[in-house]
Structure 1
Amino acid sequence: MAEEIDFQEQEERELYEHLRIEADKGQALLRLDKFLMNRVENTSRNRIQNAIEAESVFVNGKIVKASYKIKPFDVVTMVLPDPPRDTEVYPEDIPLDIIYEDDDVLIVNKQAGMVVHPGFNNYTGTLVNALTFHLNQLPTMPGNTGRPGLVHRIDKDTSGLLVIAKNEWAMTFMAKQFYDHSIHRKYVALAWGDIEESGTVTGYIGRNLRDRRVMDMFDSEEKGKWSVTHYNVLERLGYVTLIECQLETGRTHQIRTHMKSIGHALFGDEAYGGNRILKGTAFTKYKQFVNNCFELLPRQALHARSLGFVHPRTKEYMEFEVDIPADFAAVLEKWRGYSVTMGE
């Protein structure tokens, strides 16, 4: 039988809530450890099981085992002796590729593999930790605690441009531009398949009902947020296509979700199935070629290449652009070589 937690004893032991997840109304019965694996980013099953065995995980206020079956509306919490640090940012001397900086804004070219802001199980080594070291003080928007200076973000394994607000006025001004969708953002992506010349993908993006770590497309605003991505073909490379994507909205995993939804998952995108051979031949030589590309680029082939906005103080339009990084460029060259042999 599950053990009732004594909340007075919990307070005396100075336990702090680090995580709180409520199961959806459509939640199928699922083991607690598997449920948490689906819901918590950047963690391992071993770490989750250790937390459960240490009696740090509760369901509806009760200590349970890893085999407990989560059902609809169950509330899962994790409590630990130390206070959560996702609202406390520690400065770290991490090199930054700064493209531009003045008194109001800073433009940084984020490297692939760097998380943008601290969060559960991911408190150090982030862009915000680096920014906090580089700058004495950064503003924070209401409801955005723990993410100072940020008015937008890009995924951990996506490279490219981000604008950082250095004061409250700049943050408010830039946030309004993002809200109005007047920021100009263009990404370069390598996608599986032969894509039509141009197109627009629209729909409601929300959390996948089975795996909260990924996003999905829905048919109503009750399940997601409206999203728009325009894309153009830059280069056809046989079984993959290099495209440029312009965001009209900025939803989590927007380009990755949109391209998968039209049958063109991004090359190397593990979360959305692009790290498998989706197009091509059954020849061993081809399989080896693609696997070599995956080794060169062990992430989604997505780069935030250009960023344009109206400066908060001068009111002048500014635009910045950075080349694709070396790993992306190397894979492009390999596909260019392969596509030439296909045409012979």
Structure 2
Amino acid sequence: MNFEVEEASELLPFLLKSMPNRSRNSVKSILTRGQVSIDDHIETKHNYPLQPGNTVTILKNKAAVKQEQLIGLTILYEDEDIIVVDKAAGLLSIASQKEKKQTAHHQLMEYVRLENPLNRIFVVHRLDKDTSGVMMFAKSEKVKRTLQDNWKRIVKERTYVALVEGKVEKSEGTIASWLKETKTHLMYSSQEKNGGLRAVTHYKVLRSNKEYSLLKVQLETGRKNQIRVHMKDLGHPVVGDKKYGAKTNPVGRLGLHAKILSFNHPTTNQLLLFKSDVPTTFIRKTK
């Protein structure tokens, strides 16, 4: 169910107006369950500001058919060893202290158990809650271990797009530093060895204007918050990333999207490549 936004409004009043046959409590619970997406991200805030041109989509709830029970997740590929998904922004990869069920991991666990209650899903790598795009899960402990122990050899390409603040003048470049985590879970970057992990990020400007730049970002290493920290180092934080210095949030989410994941299959060794479309809001901001 899609609704086009014609005039500026807050999300809850817009939904109440768009679904007059539903009670206020029913509409609120649809929001709270993460069944509302705006353009390309899940939104649960009642007062989220809508702008003309936004598309608001009501996603079917878990009681729907097998594939459609997944909220904020689309399965791109599945076999007996792995599941590759396209994750929406706003969905946690794995459980946190506050949220146990509305996660990619929990939903996929429920999904595979429909076939066999003994089936399980294993986390191989993560995407931040507010990052969208391609991620992979394993269906056994053995496959998980194969992937994690040989990650650098198996993974052939990890490409992201980042919408960052300001016009990036240098058309391409590489950022390298050592990243270490503080006690408050903030990653910080140092040009000197600081007991942290070495991180290398390559970027290329795809398009830009005075306010924003859209970058293609390739990871040589996969450290926690790596792109976000390195964009701050570059002097162009990822939009919506208050934690690492952003002052604007024009897309209502973190401006980071995992576009391509390419790897050799852990069992067959076949080269696989999966893509997720760049969010249209990212492109719109750099016209």
Q: Deviations over 1:143-167 (max 9, x none)?
A: xxxxx51110010000000011112
Equivalent residue, structure 1, for 2:176: 202
Alignment of 1:171 with 2:122, yes or no, is: no
The offset of 1:179, in angstroms, is 4.6
Paired AA for residue 330 in structure 1: T
What is the distance in 1 between the residues matched to 2:282 and 2:205? 17
Structure 1 residue runs of 4 or more that deviate by more than 6 Å after TM superposition? none
- SS where residue 250 of structure 1 aligns? coil
Q: Report matched runs for 1:54-203 at 5 Å.
A: 94-95=70-71, 96-136=73-113, 137=118, 148-180=121-153, 182-195=155-168, 196-203=170-177
The offset of 1:193, in angstroms, is 2.2
Q: Deviations over 1:307-340 (max 9, x none)?
A: 0000112211111111023xxx13532441xxxx
Q: Relative to 1, partners in 2 of residues 1:304 and 1:313: Cα closer, same or farther, differing over 3 Å?
A: same
The offset of 1:182, in angstroms, is 3.8
What is the distance in 2 between the residues matched to 1:127 and 1:151? 12
Equivalent residue, structure 2, for 1:274: 246
- SS where residue 330 of structure 1 aligns? helix
- SS where residue 122 of structure 2 aligns? coil
Unaligned runs of 5+ in 2: 1-68
What is the distance in 2 between the residues matched to 1:115 and 1:275? 24
Q: Deviations over 1:286-320 (max 9, x none)?
A: xxxxxxx62xx222211000000001122111111
Q: Quick check: 226-235 or 190-199, which moved more?
A: 190-199
CA RMSD in angstroms comes to 2.0
Equivalent residue, structure 2, for 1:11: none
Alignment of 1:318 with 2:234, yes or no, is: no
Structure with higher strand content: 2
Structure with higher Rg: it is 1
Q: 2:209 aligns with which of 237, 242, 246?
A: 237
Unaligned runs of 5+ in 1: 1-92, 140-147, 277-292, 337-344
The offset of 1:128, in angstroms, is 1.1
Contact 1:181 1:249 in 2 (8 A): no
The offset of 1:221, in angstroms, is 4.4
- SS where residue 144 of structure 2 aligns? helix
Paired AA for residue 243 in structure 2: A
What is the distance in 2 between the residues matched to 1:220 and 1:131? 41
- TM-score normalised by structure 2 residue count: 0.69
The offset of 1:102, in angstroms, is 0.9
* Percent of pairs with identical residues: 34
Paired AA for residue 316 in structure 1: Q
Equivalent residue, structure 2, for 1:74: none
Q: 1:224 aligns with which of 171, 176, 196?
A: 196
Equivalent residue, structure 2, for 1:247: 219
Contact 2:164 2:215 in 1 (8 A): yes
The offset of 1:252, in angstroms, is 0.8
What is the distance in 2 between the residues matched to 1:299 and 1:165? 28
What is the distance in 2 between the residues matched to 1:220 and 1:180? 27
Equivalent residue, structure 2, for 1:56: none
The total of aligned residue pairs comes to 213
